[in-house]
Copies of this chain bind each other. A is one copy, B any other.
């Protein structure tokens, strides 16, 4: 007599400033199916919750019987795992949102919440290029600049659950206005919108012809800049290398403070490619004294965009040891 076991899945949700990705993850950490939709971060959160619920329910409807979805692990910016809320994330018009409560009502499943950077570092440490490491900084490059930091095998949380805001350290004193209201934040330079702002500055400063002059500024996107850089466009190349240098300086500061085993870059902007990443890493090697630079590994995630966060968010839901201190999933989902 064979024992029929249910197939158990966990949903992982990575809420980005531009897109939200949903993946269903098996107990062994494989993403069996995934999808993505526009976050529409400038519209009210209620519409987002409805669209997420539709996406999850539609995917669940396609599963064979005997498939049990045990819960939903969510990764989001400015997430406070202790309260289950988002705390006015930059680039979002949602303000303070009790996201776990909203999603548990809409999905009728237990929901746990992690900061997106924390989810990414858990994903990289369990399934990615940082597998098995205990001191790692993961930098997430997308609409925002986030970080997930593991210190001696534990997530860096801070006294109030707000640690790791590398994107809102000051990179350029008195520099660009950031979405958070401060000036000169790293995120205002090292992010997809930061790359676009640098491109616009270079178009203003320089005289070279550039295919980017044909693109209305509101249509400029990181992938368009990367595309033209690959074809040799001088302004596009200069924008990527300048952004890479800025990123390198962020990495230097992180290395000086945390002395990690590795720094891992992940997120959509990593696809902007070689000029950005190469300049970031060469900046680190130029600036950081040899005694650090030779020891710290500079890595690029091997996972697709959002996968690390989806894997990290679901692994924290499955395994209570991975959860930040003081966070309990709301229902008996273990």
Inter-chain contacts of A166 with B (CB < 8 A): 256-257
A289's partner among B171, B172, B181 (CB-CB below 8 A) is B181
A291 touching B87, Cβ below 8 Å: yes
Given A152-B157, A156-B151, verify A165-B287 contact (CB < 8 Å).
Answer: no
Q: Would you give the 0/1 interface string for A112-129, flagging 1 where the beta carbon is closer than 8 Å to chain B?
A: 000000000000000000
Q: Count how many chain A residues have C-beta atoms less than 8 Å from C-beta atoms of the other chain.
A: 44
Given A88-B291, A135-B159, A182-B287, verify A170-B258 contact (CB < 8 Å).
Answer: no
Given A173-B172, A249-B170, A291-B162, verify A258-B156 contact (CB < 8 Å).
Answer: yes
A135's partner among B87, B158, B252 (CB-CB below 8 A) is B158
A168→B295 CA distance, assembly (Å)? 17
Q: Is A169 an interface residue (CB 8 A)?
A: yes
Q: Copies per complex?
A: 2
From DSSP, what is the main secondary structure of chain A's interface residues? loop
Closest chain-B Cβ to A53's Cβ sits at a distance in Å of: 29
Q: Would you give the 0/1 interface string for A142-163, flagging 1 where the beta carbon is closer than 8 Å to chain B?
A: 0000000101101011111111
Q: Is A34 an interface residue (CB 8 A)?
A: no
Inter-chain contacts of A163 with B (CB < 8 A): 257-259
In chain A between 250 and 289, which residues have their CB closer than 8 angstroms to a CB of chain B? 252-253, 256-261, 287, 289
